[in-house]
Copies of this chain bind each other. A is one copy, B any other.
Amino acid sequence: MPATIRDVARASGVHISTVSRTFSAPHLVNPETRNRVLACAENLGYRPNRAARALITGRTHNIGLIIADIANPFFPPLIKAAESQARQRDYHIFIADTNEDPAAEEDLVHALAKQVDGVLLCSPRMSNSLIEQLSREVPLVVINRQVTGLPAVVMDVGQGARLAVEHLTGLGHRELALLGGPRGSWTNREIRRSATAAARTADAALTVLGPNPPTEGGGIAMAEQVRRSGATAVLAYNDLMAIGLIEGLDSLGLRVPQDISVVGIDDIALSRLTRPKLTTVATPTAAAGRTAVDMLLQHDGSFAARAGRGGGRTTTADDRRTTAQVTLQTELVIRDSTGVGPAAPADRPAAAATADRPGAAPSADPGSRGHADPGDATAATPEVVAS
């Protein structure tokens, strides 16, 4: 029923190879012929069969995206950006949700491996060694994790955590708590490491509470422990937990920010909607999604075709596999959930510490529509480390 290349060839009186070239290498075919073919194709509603193309070229033009939990509002912007970026490059994105289950991650990589040109592994909870092993099966780009030898794009939460701690100590807090995230999270380790260091520098105490599930519930459940810790300010693994914590503290009769300050991480859309509005570390999720797609595509672009007739093609000298690791900057967004602490300097009014980020449109995703500049993503990432 659907028109094939042969139908088009017949209709336009040329050989199928000419039709093929009309689409995949237009410069090789006479403009006149080309137009005729194009017209016939249009006429018949012909669209190249990607399965057949994939079979011979060895490239599926599909990308797998493995996510811990789509329902976590942190991910949708990333997905959206990745999908849009991929589409521009004529790729499609397979999405898969692991429900925060490390075993599911492995299964999914296997399941996707033969069907995609590469996989984006987002905040994986697997072990490094397993990730490395899987990367021999299919090109991988890791997001929010550093695995030696693998291309990665990470958000600099370490820096963010430092900024957050400095913000809090600057407000006069001396007793801090860190609400940890899930076990196995690279991000969690980074935050902890950086927050601990920053607290020490500022001569403040920091209690680490966790690990916890990275959800609102995880935050609610820890309210009591946070109170007992005696901390006057807490940094949470992510916004969801921060919001949950505020909720939990509220039912304990503790007011935020008057009694206790709370800082989240991620700057999900939701953090602007709760009361109080959440002070948080903004992570460039959309940029991360775009960048990851770009890295994957550029990376396996150098593979060229792994198939092709004789297969005897000489591998290009460019086989050095530049596995870059890109670090995206984060930034502190001060809103209403942080206030002065016990050791605050007298001349510092609480209100002075609150100022939302100026011109940030509510959920605009620059570059997700049409004309996105490919250089855009990396332009936002001054710090690029090639390994």
**Chain A residues proximal to chain B, CB less than 8 Å:** 1-2, 45, 47-52, 54-55, 60, 62, 69-71, 73, 75-77, 79-80, 83-84, 87, 92-97, 99, 110-115, 137, 215-217, 243, 247, 269-270, 273-275, 306, 362-363, 365, 368-369
A342 to B47, CA, bound (A): 63
Can you identify 12 A-B contacts, CB atoms within 8 angstroms?
Answer: A47-B113, A70-B76, A71-B76, A71-B363, A76-B76, A79-B95, A92-B94, A215-B363, A216-B273, A216-B362, A217-B362, A243-B273
Closest B residue by C-beta to A368? B99
Specify which chain B residues have a CB less than 8 angstroms from the CB of A215 in the assembled complex.
362-363
Which residue from B69, B114, B275 sits with its C-beta under 8 Å from A49?
Answer: B114
Closest B residue by C-beta to A79? B70
Which residue from B2, B87, B247 sits with its C-beta under 8 Å from A114?
Answer: B2
Establish whether residues A1 and B84, one from each chain, have CB atoms under 8 Å apart when the complex forms.
Answer: no
Which residue from B54, B114, B274, B368 sits with its C-beta under 8 Å from A274?
Answer: B274
Known A55-B52, A216-B273, A362-B215; contact A92-B115, beta-carbon cutoff 8 A: yes
Main secondary structure of the interface of A (DSSP, over half): mixed
Specify which chain B residues have a CB less than 8 angstroms from the CB of A216 in the assembled complex.
269, 273, 362-363
Closest B residue by C-beta to A61? B115
A77 to chain B, nearest CB (A): 6
Known: A2-B114, A274-B274. 4 other contacts (CB 8 A): A48-B114, A71-B76, A92-B115, A216-B362
A11 to chain B, nearest CB (A): 18
Known A49-B55, A94-B92; contact A77-B83, beta-carbon cutoff 8 A: no
A24 to B243, CA, bound (A): 50
Which residue from B49, B71, B110 sits with its C-beta under 8 Å from A269?
Answer: B71
Establish whether residues B47 and A51, one from each chain, have CB atoms under 8 Å apart when the complex forms.
Answer: no
| Residue of A51, A55, A76, A113 contacting most chain B CB atoms (<10 Å) | A51
| Residue of A71, A80, A363 contacting most chain B CB atoms (<10 Å) | A71
Establish whether residues A94 and B96, one from each chain, have CB atoms under 8 Å apart when the complex forms.
Answer: no
Q: Which 9 A-B pairs have the closest CB atoms?
A: A51-B54, A95-B95, A70-B76, A51-B51, A71-B76, A51-B55, A70-B80, A275-B275, A47-B114
A325 to chain B, nearest CB (A): 26
Which residue from B60, B80, B274 sits with its C-beta under 8 Å from A97?
Answer: B80
Specify which chain B residues have a CB less than 8 angstroms from the CB of A1 in the assembled complex.
306
Known A51-B55, A274-B274; contact A71-B114, beta-carbon cutoff 8 A: no
Specify which chain B residues have a CB less than 8 angstroms from the CB of A110 in the assembled complex.
47
